[in-house]
Amino acid sequence: MLNFLLAATPLLSSAQQLQQPLREHQPELIFPLKLNKERTYTFESALDGVRLLSSKAVADIERYNEVNSHPQTVLVNVPLDASKEGSMFLGTVASTNARLQQDFEWVDTLTPGEQMSITHVGIRKGAMVSKNAYSARLALETPYISLPSEIYEILIQATNPTPRHHGDGYDDVVDCSALDRYPDLILCLGPEIEEGGDKEKTEERELVITPGHERTGEVVKKWSLGGLP
């Protein structure tokens, strides 16, 4: 489970400090996330029933008056063990001051999750093969990742999937027992630019997606690479 530490109190704090309530560190609202049969996460809205987790669904929460003010941060906690529930934390500025002091990497987008700037996407297993790319989309409502066709072809060669037929066509499916030998998928974020005198320093950041086992109550023996363009 990927845990977010919202607050911590030193062991040697004075008694007065220990008695102080940590209200400012508490999220305003917490939604449990459940994995459905399509392996997408849903949450239950008080006024709209079960909703698919998506950027739009999160944006609609304020309109449904389920929180008292517009959320400033949304933290999505997705467990590595998919048989367990995830959670979504919504907080305002007052409830997230402590978290904002942590080492976050911020990606600017006009619409949350849309058109995130990247420089290239690659596959790495020892050496890395990459292709230039310009933007990526954080699609919370789907487990699939869209890749350039050239990168997907390399991924096919590295994983040797078998086609699986379903109502809408075919998916490329691989054996979960072989995940340890599969490569990492690398998304390279836009470089940070620091101006100093006559020089500009750039530092490129990477988001590494490592294959992992999935569970839906019991061990899943097949893993879908997804429908990619």
What secondary structure, in 3-state letters, does the chain show? CCCCCCCCCCCCCCHHHHCCCCHHHCCCEEEEEEECCCCCEEEEECCCEEEECCHHHHHHHHHCCCCCCCCCEEEEECCCCCCCCEEEEEECHHHHHHHHCCCCCCCCCCCCCCCEEEEEEEEEECEEEEEECCEECCCCCCCCCCCCHHHHHHHHHHHCCEEEEECCEEEEEEEHHHHHHCCEEEEEEEEEEEEECCEEEEEEEEEEECCCCCEECEECCEEECCCCC
| Percent of residues, the chain, with pLDDT higher than 90 | 0
Q: Which domain holds residue 61?
A: 15-100
Most confident listed range (100-114, 156-170, 207-221): 156-170
Last residue of a domain, one of 35, 70, 100: 100
Please tell me the predicted confidence (pLDDT) of residue 160.
Answer: 84
125 and 73 share one domain: no
Residue 1 is assigned to a structural domain of this protein: no
Give me the mean pLDDT over the 15-23 stretch.
39
Residue 111 is assigned to a structural domain of this protein: no
Give me the mean pLDDT over the 92-109 stretch.
53
Please tell me the predicted confidence (pLDDT) of residue 216.
Answer: 34
Number of structural domains (the chain) is 2
Please tell me the predicted confidence (pLDDT) of residue 169.
Answer: 74
156 and 206 share one domain: yes
Mean pLDDT over all residues of the chain?
A: 66
Q: What is the pLDDT of residues 191-200, one digit of tens each?
A: 544 545 444 4
Per the model's pLDDT, the better-predicted residue between 153 and 97 turns out to be: 153
C-alpha to C-alpha distance for 56 and 156, rounded to whole angstroms: 32
Residue 93 is assigned to a structural domain of this protein: yes
133 and 157 share one domain: yes
Please list, residue by residue across 198-209, b when 16 or more beta carbons sit within 10 angstroms of its beta carbon and e when fewer do.
eeeeeeeeeeee
Give me the mean pLDDT over the 47-73 stretch.
70
